[in-house]
Structure 1
Amino acid sequence: MKMPETVKEKVEKLMNKFLWSEGTPWCSWKKFCAPFSEGGSHSRFWKALVDIREHAEANLHWQVGRGECDLWVDSWLPTGPLDILNTTNAKVSDFYLNGQWNEGKLQAILDSDRVNVIMQLYLDPCRPDQLLWKPSPSGEFTFKSAWEEVRTGRDISIFYSSIWHSTIPRKMSFLTWRLLRHLLPVDEVLQTKGISLASKCHCCSSIETIEHVFFTNPVAERIWAHFGALFGVSQANISTVTQAITTWSLSARGQGHVRQVVPVVIL
């Protein structure tokens, strides 16, 4: 049974209330739940999981033993279910007797191609049918494999991967993620939400944008320059936070993880 849209909407509202304490859902759950390396927060709990049944059924396969699964509806052949619209009650074992298939009985209801496929299969009356999860090499269902199956992948990003380093507190990583996605309530972002206001930085007369607050205002510039000089990371030709994080991440190769986490600490 498919979950009603009204129920899904209510669940999403509850999740929004939990995540965005100020009440404004700054981005969609689809974007929020993408992996770290694709610009998301790596959360697997999002509204599309309530629709997993359709995806799951397409990735389930019966390894036939005794043949107790449904002949028509269950996916027990390599080609999938025989006919999901057929309402006739029949088990696979109904067509298998004394260690062999009843070819005549199969030919009476199926085309020759399918009969030939079935005739190659062997049933084991001592072993129960086993339901396998196709995306997993072992055949066992895992939430990780299910999530990878239903989600839509995005481009891999160096700087999005770097902000979720294991040594960085998640609260700091989340702030940086919001900054990179322009999901912080600075004047520039609020104006895009339809809020009319005169924009002015609290420290100077410039317009309050994310880049200005965290990178180009005089105080931020001095902080970035200080740490750049300390670690030997050039700030030349860097004009955005994204460029800064990418530059630091690239400089961290072969130098340990400290350079990778410094930008997040600065922010």
Structure 2
Amino acid sequence: MSLWFDHWHPRGPLNLLFSELLIFSSRLSRQATVADLFSDYGQALKVSLESWEHPLPVLSLIPDRFCWLENSSGLFSVASAWETIRLKKDLVPWFAFIWSNAIIPRYQFNLWLMAKNRLPTQVRLLSYGRIESATCAFCNSRPDSLDHLFFGCRISASLAFFWAARCNLPWQNRSWSDNLQWAMKFLSGKEFHHCIARFSFGALCHMIWKKRNGILFREETLVVPALKNHLIKVVKNKALIFTNVADTTRHRRFQRNWGVDPSIFSPLVGTSPL
């Protein structure tokens, strides 16, 4: 390992800390290794470095090797590099809810945009001057905003009440921020009914946004019963990945409401992890 040019010292490469004159006067060539520091020729430089706050490495017969200091194993990984360079902030309250394994990635991404108020709704595009006029694809009464689309619009509100009834949950239309707070309170948990409710909430929001875009940009037609049937289908498919679900009254109600095959139940108590 190069004495002057490798990053072996905590302060960095020595060639950046010493002038050319000092390097020359050290009596150690520019091709010197760290091991040369412990030779007779390196004693003067060694004494100088020992006066610094950082201790020098211990000389051993083990061959030098590169070590990634940002990982306890000493091995480089993309994950550890990302952790080193990324800007770290406090976790937002909705982090665990949205990035739960119960919700599939495309639903997570959609919810993440919604939580950060980054969906390109009509109200948002109007504020940027990207469009001149617009009306909600569902009710045609006003430009859609995040609060209107989720779930102030009478059409999306009806879908929300349909979903809540299937999940045996209390529901009332609020602002999106309040809706998210409510979902975090009632849908968090590891039991079967929590996971299905959380998944179906993500599916509902994604379905509304996707259908809204389909109507605006692909001239699709709005058929509310078809949307409800689609939601039922994706929830039934999701529920089938569970096995050994605890046979409780609540879970039986969920199973019947969504039309899930009762084979998910088992005499064993407990639910299976996702």
TM range (shorter): 0.5 to 0.7
2:197 maps to 1:259: yes
SS at match of 2:16: coil
Paired with 2:54 and 2:101, the residues of 1 have a C-alpha distance of 54
Give the alignment partner of residue 95 of structure 1, picking from 37, 55, 58: 37
Q: Percent identity?
A: 21
Q: 1:107 to 1:185 in 2, by over 3 A?
A: closer
Specify the alignment match of 2:183 in structure 1: 248
Q: Which has the higher helix share?
A: 2
Residue by residue over 1:161-182, the C-alpha shift from the partner in whole angstroms, topping out at 9 and shown as x without a partner, is 4334435443333333333333
Specify the alignment match of 1:140 in structure 2: 75
2:14 maps to 1:77: no
Asked if the contact 1:187–1:197 (Cα under 8 Å) also holds between the matched residues in 2, the reply is no
Specify the alignment match of 2:92 in structure 1: 157
Q: 1:113 to 1:157 in 2, by over 3 A?
A: same
How many residue pairs match? The answer is: 191
Asked if the contact 1:107–1:115 (Cα under 8 Å) also holds between the matched residues in 2, the reply is no
Q: TM-score normalised to the size of structure 2?
A: 0.58
Question: Residue type of the partner of 2:9?
Answer: L
Asked if the contact 2:114–2:146 (Cα under 8 Å) also holds between the matched residues in 1, the reply is yes
Q: TM-score normalised to the size of structure 1?
A: 0.60
Question: Residue type of the partner of 1:91?
Answer: T
Specify the alignment match of 1:185 in structure 2: 120
Which ranges of structure 2 fall in alignment gaps of 5 or more residues? 24-29, 206-274
Q: 1:248 to 1:255 in 2, by over 3 A?
A: farther
Q: 1:78 to 1:181 in 2, by over 3 A?
A: closer
2:63 maps to 1:121: no
Specify the alignment match of 1:104 in structure 2: 43
Which ranges of structure 1 fall in alignment gaps of 5 or more residues? 1-68
Structure possessing the higher radius of gyration over alpha carbons: 2
Paired with 1:240 and 1:114, the residues of 2 have a C-alpha distance of 60
- The CA deviation at 1:83 is 4.3
Question: Residue type of the partner of 1:106?
Answer: L
Specify the alignment match of 2:150 in structure 1: 214
SS at match of 2:183: helix
Q: 1:128 to 1:74 in 2, by over 3 A?
A: same
Residue by residue over 1:13-34, the C-alpha shift from the partner in whole angstroms, topping out at 9 and shown as x without a partner, is xxxxxxxxxxxxxxxxxxxxxx
2:150 maps to 1:176: no
Q: 1:234 to 1:162 in 2, by over 3 A?
A: same
Specify the alignment match of 2:241 in structure 1: none
Paired with 1:244 and 1:211, the residues of 2 have a C-alpha distance of 9
SS at match of 2:66: strand
